[in-house]
Amino acid sequence: MLTNGGGFIIITRGLKLAKLTERTRCNGTWTEAQFRSFIKNQLRHATLKWAPIQVCMKEATTRRGWKMCACCQQEVPVSIIDQATGKRVKNIFCDHIDPIVPVSGWESWDSCIDRMFCELDNLQALCGKCHKEKSLEETQQRAEIRRSK
Ligand SMILES: [Zn+2]
């Protein structure tokens, strides 16, 4: 793939990008990216029934309505009132230490499912603040790797 000085990779990236933004799904109303995100959200919902995730969240419980964040080691309420919207929002998340979509980029649905339904050793409870920071860092790493490819 690297034989012609990386030109092929640029072409491949172009095709991948076109494919993700092309409205190929749901009777031409959804892009590939929207479709992927929709399926991922449905799968994510199914992880609520995945025992290792239930165990992870149970183990993080310190008392009713409170959990321990594995990162900042603070005991936090499971939900808080969002200052901007005034709505009650989730404040603790079951994080995949090795993320569902690797920082090196999307691999396949097989990989996504394997990573999503992982074992307890790859899971940790994170408070809203720590989870947001980790996700942001992963997003930045993905963007950096994409740029350097
Ligand atoms: Zn935290």
CB atoms within 10 A of CB 76: 22
Percent pLDDT > 90 in the chain is 81
Under the banding of pLDDT at 50, 70 and 90, the label for residue 22 is confident
Does the pLDDT value for residue 7 go beyond 90?
A: no
If you measure from the C-alpha of residue 56 to the centroid of ligand 1, how many angstroms do you get, rounded to a whole number?
Answer: 15
CB 74 within 8 A of CB 131: no
The domain limits of the chain are 1-48, 50-149
If you measure from the C-alpha of residue 106 to the centroid of ligand 1, how many angstroms do you get, rounded to a whole number?
Answer: 27
If you measure from the C-alpha of residue 75 to the centroid of ligand 1, how many angstroms do you get, rounded to a whole number?
Answer: 8
pLDDT in tens, 104-119: 999 999 999 999 999 9
Query: In angstroms, rounded to a whole number, what is the distance separating the alpha carbons of residues 118 and 104?
Result: 19
Q: Which two structure tokens, joined as six digits, stand for 127?
A: 């408070």
pLDDT at 78: 98
Does the pLDDT value for residue 87 go beyond 70?
A: yes
Please tell me what DSSP assigns to residue 144: H
User: 86-117 burial, b if ≥16 CB within 10 A, otherwise e?
Assistant: eeeeebbbbbbeebbbbbeeeeeeeebeebbe
If you measure from the C-alpha of residue 117 to the centroid of ligand 1, how many angstroms do you get, rounded to a whole number?
Answer: 23
If you measure from the C-alpha of residue 114 to the centroid of ligand 1, how many angstroms do you get, rounded to a whole number?
Answer: 26
Task: Quote the pTM value.
Answer: 0.82
Q: CB-based contacts of 38: which residues, under 8 Å, 6+ apart?
A: 30
Under the banding of pLDDT at 50, 70 and 90, the label for residue 46 is very high
Average pLDDT (8-24) is 62
